[in-house]
Amino acid sequence: MLSRGQIRVLNAGDDVTLECGFYMEQFDLFYNPILWQKIQYEEITEMNIMGNIKEPFESTDVSLEDSANYSCEVRAPGSKILGQVTHRIFIRAPVVDVSILDEDTATATDDYIISATTLSFIEDIPRRVQCIAKGGNPPPEVDIVLGRRDVTDHFHVEMFPKLSGERGFRLMSTTTVIISDRFRAGAVDDGKRFKCKVTVPGMGSQTATAKVEVKYAPTIYCKPAAAYLGDKNIHLSCEVRARPGVTALFWMLDSNVFREVQPKPQTVAGRVKTSHSVSDSRRDNKDYIFIPSTGRTVSVHRNIGFWIKTVMFTSPFWILTFYK
């Protein structure tokens, strides 16, 4: 075969010529028919039934129905294939719809998809997330982003083709499923946007987004505190983030709760700040314990030590406790 297979990406209305050049000694068109076939997925249509076309295959004003593989075969008596060349033709078609699905908030059928507006996770517990794209030719490019982090590599792509119309003039449409069965989200992802972007080069993009909500145990940050010996009113300050939101905050000294703080209603689902003033550094040279509660079975507390200059240093540390 002198011709080599081509991959052509065209717009509807373009013209195309597909070559089928070969060299053969003692060629006879009667005994060596040249057969052009149109292949759409697993459906094969013979384009020249008599097998007597040896000129290049030409098509003018191509349409979406012309997307297919075109194979030219040179045969011997008995239909043995002596040579073959295959050209792949894609007629550009846009992605018409993109949707995001998870296990709880969306359902899908062949013709109708309800896209999720929120993706719910429990910290570091895997679950299924998928993006469904209708249409698109050639197969679209996919980008999955969580916040500003590209997570495309966590997903794999499956394609489900569908043919409609008369044989030989089928319209091919494809549903592209971008799926991960074990996608994880952490506390840092809470409140970010999950975005699925599907692109056919030359035809623009379609995008779907959903808000990410992650349930996670409280995380605490406490500012370092320092004082000179004899100072009064040392200020201890902590910040806590949790989902579900914090319902109560406790300050403890020597394992005894001495102060409970009720968060304001508008701060229950997210970040909460609290503080405590130590009256006298000579008397209160101890570790204070700060405990946020979410009303769930898991709580986190942190020892907050402050250091007295020239006298002592107490290192803060984290403790995670599970209560049954």
Quick check: is 194 in a domain? yes
Give the residues across from 73 on adjacent strands. Answer: 35, 84
Domain termination residue (choose one: 192, 215, 238): 215
Distances (CA, A) of 7 to 37, 188, 232: 16, 44, 80
Q: Is residue 125 a part of any domain in this protein?
A: yes
- Show the tokens assigned to 66: 């012309």
Assess whether 118 and 130 both reside in one domain.
yes
Query: Looking at residue 274, what DSSP letter applies?
Result: E
Residue 256 maps to a domain? yes
Segment 122-127 long-range contacts (CB within 8 Å, at least 24 positions apart): 122/214, 122/215, 122/216, 123/185, 123/186, 123/187, 123/214, 123/215, 123/216, 123/217, 124/184, 124/186, 125/184, 126/181, 126/182, 126/183, 126/184, 127/102, 127/103, 127/182, 127/183
In a domain, residue 155? The reply is yes
CA angle 290–292–293, rounded 5-degree value: 145
> Which carries the bigger pLDDT value, residue 203 or residue 302?
203
Of 317, 313, 284, 286, nearest in space to 300 by CA: 317
pLDDT, tens digit, 9 for 90 and up, residues 4-46: 999 999 999 999 888 888 888 888 877 888 888 999 888 898 8
What is the pLDDT averaged over residues 206-215?
94
Instruction: Look at residue 50 in the predicted model and tell me its pLDDT.
Output: 57
Q: Are residues 131 and 208 in the same domain?
A: yes
**Residue 314: CB atoms within 10 Å:** 16
CA distance 176 to 158: 6
- Residue 117: DSSP 8-state: S
pLDDT at 305 over 70: no
Q: Tokens standing for 67?
A: 């997307």
Tell me: the pLDDT tens digits for 50-99?
Answer: 555 555 667 778 899 999 999 999 888 888 899 999 999 999 999 999 99
Nearest partner of 132 among 99, 171, 179, judged by Cα: 99
More confident residue, 321 or 144: 144
Measure the CA–CA gap between 134 and 323, rounded to whole angstroms.
47
pLDDT digits (tens, 9 = 90+) for 108-117: 555 667 888 9
What average pLDDT does the structure give for the chain? 76
pLDDT band at 192 (very low <50, low <70, confident <90, very high): very high
Sequence-separated (6 or more) residues with CB below 8 Å from residue 26: none
Question: Last residue of some domain: 153, 185, 215?
Answer: 215
Range of the domain at 241: 223-322
Asked whether residue 2 is domain-assigned, the answer is: no
For residues 130-166, one letter each, b for 16 or more C-beta atoms within 10 angstroms of the residue's C-beta and e for the rest, the string is bbbbbbbbbebebebbbeeeebeeebeeeeeeeeeee
Q: Residues of the chain with pLDDT > 70: what percent?
A: 68
For 121-155, what is each residue's pLDDT tens digit? 999 899 999 999 999 999 899 999 999 999 999 99
Domain closes at, from 71, 91, 111: 91
- Evaluate if residue 214 carries a pLDDT over 80: yes
Residue 100, pLDDT above cutoff 90: yes
DSSP state of 52: B
Helix (H, G, I), strand (E, B) or coil at 187: helix
**Judgement on whether residues 98 and 211 belong to the same structural domain of the protein:** yes
Residue 222 pLDDT > 90, yes or no?
A: no
Report the CATH number that the domain containing residue 292 is assigned in CATH.
2.60.40.10
Same domain, 165 and 189: yes
User: Tokens for 130?
Assistant: 């998928």
Token pair recorded at residue 96:
């018409």
Banded pLDDT at 242 (limits 50, 70, 90): confident
Comparing 254 with 114, the larger pLDDT belongs to 114
Number of folded domains that form the chain: 3
Q: What is the reported pTM?
A: 0.72
Q: How far apart, in Å, are the Cα atoms of 297 and each of 218, 257, 293?
A: 12, 19, 9
The CA-atom distances, in angstroms, between 144 and each of 101, 147, 152, 157, 269 are 13, 10, 5, 12, 27
